[in-house]
């Protein structure tokens, strides 16, 4: 017969060996499914599901900035984090620029550096025309996708569609905006999908 100490060692050894399949313990021996998830690298082809998730994450980031603004907390820090998490500043080749055409910009129609992005989203004073798009604020953003284009090899992706913004001050209305995003995988963090192109505009109005 085995000593209590040897039996305990054997028990924990078996638990460790089977931990990927069985939840060990005195009260739980139910087999559990193991999800084999492989971390994405910058070499993996982009998928349509990731593109949709990236669009959704952008809308959620805009709403989060507004929530922090309403709470009178550091919304500029929240905006900077969202911008760096969404746009490929860390993956722009030498001699190239990020391409950002904001919805509500007239004097500075295109933006490419972090200060210009922040100016548009939170109105920090870089350009006088910027009132802070994300601190409108918006309480809801829904979107659709017209189409996704992923070239052979999946190194980049382009998506177009519309989103509808609901302002905090007028929850019964929506502002429709058309968008096109160009995305790529970044080297750091490895494999993350970020935007190198963002074009937004209001629909044409004949009046």
Q: By CB neighbour count within 10 A (0-12 exposed, 13-18 middle, 19+ buried), where does 125 fall?
A: exposed
pLDDT in tens, 156-193: 999 999 999 999 999 999 999 999 999 999 977 888 99
Q: What is the pLDDT, as a whole number, of residue 190? A: 84
Q: What is the pLDDT, as a whole number, of residue 72? A: 97
Angstrom CA distances, 129 to 99, 100, 116, 187, 202, stand at 19, 16, 12, 34, 17
pLDDT in tens, 112-146: 999 999 999 999 778 999 999 999 999 999 999 99
Q: How far apart, in whole angstroms, are the C-alpha atoms of residue 185 and residue 188?
A: 9
CB 79 within 8 A of CB 134: yes
Task: Out of 29-43, 52-66, 112-126, 189-203, pick the least confident.
Answer: 29-43
Closest to 51 measured CA to CA, from 166, 200, 197, 203: 197
The pLDDT-based confidence of 88 (bands split at 50, 70, 90) is very high
Q: pTM here? A: 0.79
* 39 vs 25: which has the higher pLDDT: 39
Residue 22 has pLDDT above 80, yes or no: no
Token reading at 56: 């959704």
């Amino acid at each position: 017969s085995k000593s209590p100490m040897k039996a305990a060692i054997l028990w924990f050894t078996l638990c460790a060996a089977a931990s990927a399949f069985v939840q060990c313990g005195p009260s739980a021996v139910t087999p559990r499914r193991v999800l084999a998830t492989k971390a994405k690298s910058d070499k993996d082809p982009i998928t349509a599901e990731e593109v949709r998730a990236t669009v959704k994450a952008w809308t959620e980031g805009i709403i989060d900035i507004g929530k922090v603004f309403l709470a009178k907390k550091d919304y500029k820090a929240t905006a900077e984090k969202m911008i760096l998490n969404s746009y490929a500043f860390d993956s722009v080749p030498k001699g190239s620029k990020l391409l950002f055409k904001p919805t509500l910009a007239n004097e500075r129609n295109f933006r490419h550096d972090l200060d210009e992005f922040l100016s548009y989203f939170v109105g920090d004073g870089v350009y006088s025309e910027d009132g802070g798009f994300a601190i409108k604020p918006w309480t809801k953003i829904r979107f659709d996708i017209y189409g996704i284009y992923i070239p052979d090899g999946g190194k980049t992706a382009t998506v177009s569609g519309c989103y509808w913004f609901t302002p905090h001050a007028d929850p019964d209305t929506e502002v429709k905006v058309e968008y096109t995003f160009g995305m790529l995988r970044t080297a750091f963090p490895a494999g993350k999908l970020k935007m190198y192109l963002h074009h937004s505009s209001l629909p044409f109005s004949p009046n």
